[in-house]
Structure 1
């Protein structure tokens, strides 16, 4: 059975961090990393490693997201992604 984690966060991205940087930083993980967001009542889930998917989500500070990581290094991937997307 493959390891997986899920976590709900509220997006709080620093002006200094772009979503492209977040996506590039996740390329080092073996795990798949998914972001899920409701847009006008419809849930959308994208692979964070996909630039096209990121454009679809149009992330903004204050958005509620569900992060799901699946794979051997899912704990490390979750920590990195949650850290990037919910900076204080």
Structure 2
């Protein structure tokens, strides 16, 4: 058989598939890199136990870079220092 030249639209399609494959591989590498950097957070660990003042009962919990907060059933937010565990601030929710 004779070697026929490749049609222009087929050549374009082949190049487009190759470029899109490269872009997809680069995107997957970027997403994996972002997940690894975001999930490997170097924050100090939380204490195993948190003693709440006045026998309050915890309803919710959240944390920041150097603090963590506990919302109690008495509508108070208790903000603790992450390193020392000392109570930093008490906020009353009205």
TM norm. shorter chain > 0.5: no
Task: Report which structure shows greater RCO (CA 8 Å, sep ≥6).
Answer: 1
Flag the structure with higher helix content.
2
Q: Which has the larger radius of gyration?
A: 2
TM-score, normalization: structure 2? Answer: 0.23
TM-score, normalization: structure 1? Answer: 0.24
